[in-house]
Amino acid sequence: MALAIRFHDQLSQTSTTSFRDETLRGLAATPKWASPKFFYDRRGSELFEQITEQPEYYPTRTEVAILTQAASEIAEIAGPDADLIEFGSGASRKVRLLLEAMRPTSYLGIDISDDFLRSSTQRLAADYPWLDVHALSADFCDELHLPKGFDSRCPLAFFPGSSIGNFTPAQAQQFLRRLHSLLPVGGGLLVGVDLVKDRAVLEAAYNDAAGVTAAFNLNLLERIRNELASDIDPARFTHKAIFNAVQSRIEMHLASVEEQTVIIEGRRFHFEAGETLHTENSYKYSLESFAALARLARFDSIQQWTDPQQLFSVHYLKR
Ligand code: AVI
């Protein structure tokens, strides 16, 4: 019999306020920006799942292939008492490979997308009746506390998908430091990191021919139109994704197709034709540059796995 999921909510009651306040702050800045964490309402989470199935978007299938090969080695390094904590659990598909190899007692999924988290952890609880499943809806960019009732002596934190690349290197280091203090000595962090490569391969991954990434990016404007008092029209913006080689990052933007003024919560924001709203960075690392970043956060790099084409990497870090 599946144990009931224990659902814990740490999303502040102010999450709508923070969407509103951050949106207004980003649009008032020069250049204009928006935080990528607001991509993930239900529609955005669904679109992201579709992105992972696009032929151009290599990270997901490559990481799955790496994890499939490495799962038993990961289980061995983690040890028999390890429990799993997944950050940004989304559809929780990759973690199944680890659950099957490790057979932990407990699993904690953490995600900002509340109802998406509920349905994916419900599926895990149904499929793994031996697993004690916890779900925590939280913004892990904020201060994080493990929920009461999830007691693990030896947790392995899992942060897949190169989500760490959506932080600037300074923010990534800060996030790793916070994880370092959250984990007990001996605790591990398994993190998926996208590798720097040919511009053409990178740009294709963020400009899929089916237009799913474009819809994902534009969905942010749908959210502004639906959740805030706004006349913003997504049809008057286009998706743009380019590789910035100096910063080693893919940048996603929404470019205004014409000169226009939009109203959000009573405030007016002017766009020149072609002016962009910078919506996301996706940093790409080398194996060495990521290991160096992890060392700055006082983690030891225990093992790294990659694919034959060196597209993607998975790092086992230990506290
Ligand atoms: C979630 N994150 C790691 C994805 C990425 O590749 O940076 C988000 C994404 N944005 C556009 N496509 C995918």
For 214-252, the pLDDT digits (tens) are 999 999 999 999 999 999 999 999 999 999 999 999 999
Looking at residue 93, what is its pLDDT?
A: 77
**Atom number, ligand 1, closest to the C-alpha of residue 205:** 12
Residue among 241, 253, 254, 247 at smallest CA distance from 202? 241
Task: Report the sign of the C-alpha dihedral through residues 264, 266, 272, 275, in that order.
Answer: negative
Q: Is the pLDDT of residue 13 over 70?
A: no
**Atom number, ligand 1, closest to the C-alpha of residue 48:** 13
Looking at residue 111, what is its pLDDT?
A: 87
**Atom number, ligand 1, closest to the C-alpha of residue 162:** 3
Q: For the residues 22-37, what does the mean pLDDT come to?
A: 96
Looking at residue 36, what is its pLDDT?
A: 94
**122-143 pLDDT tens trace:** 999 999 999 999 999 888 777 8
Cα(168) to centroid(ligand 1), Å:
14
- pTM of this structure: 0.93
Closest CA to ligand 1's atom 1: 163
Please report, rounded to a whole number, the percentage of residues in the chain having pLDDT higher than 90.
82
**Confidence class for position 207, pLDDT limits 50, 70, 90:** very high
Cα(284) to centroid(ligand 1), Å:
11
Please report, rounded to a whole number, the percentage of residues in the chain having pLDDT higher than 70.
96
Q: Is the pLDDT of residue 1 over 60?
A: no
156 vs 148, residue with greater confidence:
156
Output phi, psi for 293, to 5 deg: -60, -45
Q: Is the pLDDT of residue 314 over 80?
A: yes
Cα(250) to centroid(ligand 1), Å:
9
Looking at residue 141, what is its pLDDT?
A: 77
Looking at residue 113, what is its pLDDT?
A: 77
Looking at residue 9, what is its pLDDT?
A: 78
Cα(208) to centroid(ligand 1), Å:
12
**246-278 pLDDT tens trace:** 999 999 999 999 999 999 999 999 999 999 999
Q: For the residues 187-203, what does the mean pLDDT come to?
A: 98
> DSSP states of 153-177 as a string?
SSEEEEE-TTGGGGS-HHHHHHHHH
6 vs 176, residue with greater confidence:
176
**Mean model confidence pLDDT for the chain:** 93
Cα(211) to centroid(ligand 1), Å:
14
**Helix runs in the chain, H state only:** 15-28, 42-51, 58-78, 94-102, 114-127, 169-182, 199-205, 212-227, 287-296
Would you call the peptide bond into 59 cis, given omega within 30 degrees of 0 as the criterion?
A: no
Closest CA to ligand 1's atom 3: 163
